[in-house]
Amino acid sequence: MQVVVLNGVNLDVLARRDAAVYGGLSLSELETRIYEWASELGCHVRCRQTNHEGEYVAWCHDAYEWADGVIVNPGAWSHYSYAIRDALELLEAPIVEVHLSNIDEREDWRKHSVLADLASKRVIGKGPDGYRDAIEFLVAQVGATS
């Protein structure tokens, strides 16, 4: 099973963001955990991060060809990027939307996600462990349909 994790804008400076909100890890530390969890769960994962919306869209297009599951945390783009939404809408693989913080309990503008209806599952407010939940869900989903 092949999974891609697409992290978006400002996740490269994760360690500088409020640890109480975002979990206190650097992106590198988060990716290390993701790779460990994927290995434990018997799947292969590729982590990617960009601050460039067009590159993020291109990675969504790339996932069409090979990914069995997609985990997305576009950051602030989640709330307004219809370009990313359109790119993800074409995927046949299940999508899990992950947010480190609980966006439902934050500013009003963060409560809306243009991706929510595309996601097979949403994991919000669980910090870094939300990525593990996402991987577990995809392993169960793909295993159930294979």
Count Cα neighbours of 23 within 13 Å in the Cβ-side half-sphere: 21
H-run or E-run covering 5: strand 2-7
Concerning whether 22 is annotated as a catalytic residue, the answer is: yes
Concerning whether 61 is annotated as a catalytic residue, the answer is: no
The order of strands in the sheet holding 95-99 is 44-49, 2-7, 69-73, 95-99, 121-124
Rounded Cα distance, 16 and 145, in Å: 40
Pick the catalytic residue from 35, 44, 56, 99. 99
Closest to 47 (Cα-Cα) out of 82, 13, 73: 73
Pick the catalytic residue from 22, 61, 64, 131. 22
Please tell me the total number of residues recorded for the chain in this structure.
Answer: 146
Show which residues are catalytic: 22, 99
